[in-house]
Amino acid sequence: MMVNQMQIENSVKVWDIFVRVFHWSLVLAFTLAYITEDHFLLLHSWAGYTVLTLISLRLIWGVIGSRHARFSDFMYRPREIKTFIKQTFKLRAKRYLGHNPAGGAMIILLLISLFMVTLTGMAVYGAAEQAGPFAAGLANSSELFQDILKEVHEFFANFTLLLVFIHVAGVVVESLIHRENLVLSMFNGYKRKSLPGESKESQS
């Protein structure tokens, strides 16, 4: 009981409900879109629209949301990102309450890549199926143009998947370095304030 009370007192709310729902909804929507690409076109398309809706809402929340949800909280200079990555490989990375420099950069990359996936996906849907928001402009596209669109769409889908794997690896490494369950924190919203002897500087 004492241990639980100490854990509660040493916890701080970091991720708001929107960030958490967005995160896991995006995981589900992208996974569904990726595995249904070749066999269930309608389901694939609606999963893609869901991804686009989610990232659009995240862009808005990145401006008006809670402290650690805002882009201003995790936009770092390239030099800071490079330094953090080097320190991570040495297992000496500074701890951040919100997104660390590498995590912040990954979020930006994922949002850009996901946007390109959905944009090219809608273009393919319009050109090949004469459906979706781009149907009117791309309905008479040549087969060569359709093939190019499909290749670009598949590239960004696979590139996004690669980013996801790197992101997961980063979460695992940081969890080990700082001895905290970052996956759990994305469910309940809480992270540890500090460890005994941990400086305030490491709690950015």
Who's near 161: CB < 8 A, 6+ residues apart?
34
The 10 Å Cβ neighbour count of residue 18 is 15
Whether residue 7 lies inside any domain: the answer is no
Whether residue 4 lies inside any domain: the answer is no
Whether residue 6 lies inside any domain: the answer is no
Segment 124-166, tens digit of pLDDT: 998 888 888 888 888 888 899 999 999 999 999 999 999 999 9
HSE on the CB side for 72, CA within 13 Å?
Answer: 7
CATH number for 107 = 1.20.950
Domain that holds residue 48: 14-193
Whether residue 198 lies inside any domain: the answer is no
Amino acid at 63: V
Whether residue 144 lies inside any domain: the answer is yes
Whether residue 204 lies inside any domain: the answer is no
Place of tokens 């690896």: 169
Q: What's the sign of the alpha-carbon dihedral 121, 127, 131, 132?
A: positive
Number of domains the chain contains: 1
Who's near 167: CB < 8 A, 6+ residues apart?
103, 106, 110
Segment 40-64, tens digit of pLDDT: 989 999 999 999 999 999 999 999 9
Q: How confident is the model at residue 9 (pLDDT cuts 50, 70, 90)?
A: low
- pTM for the model stands at 0.88
The CA distance from 192 to 203, in Å, is 9
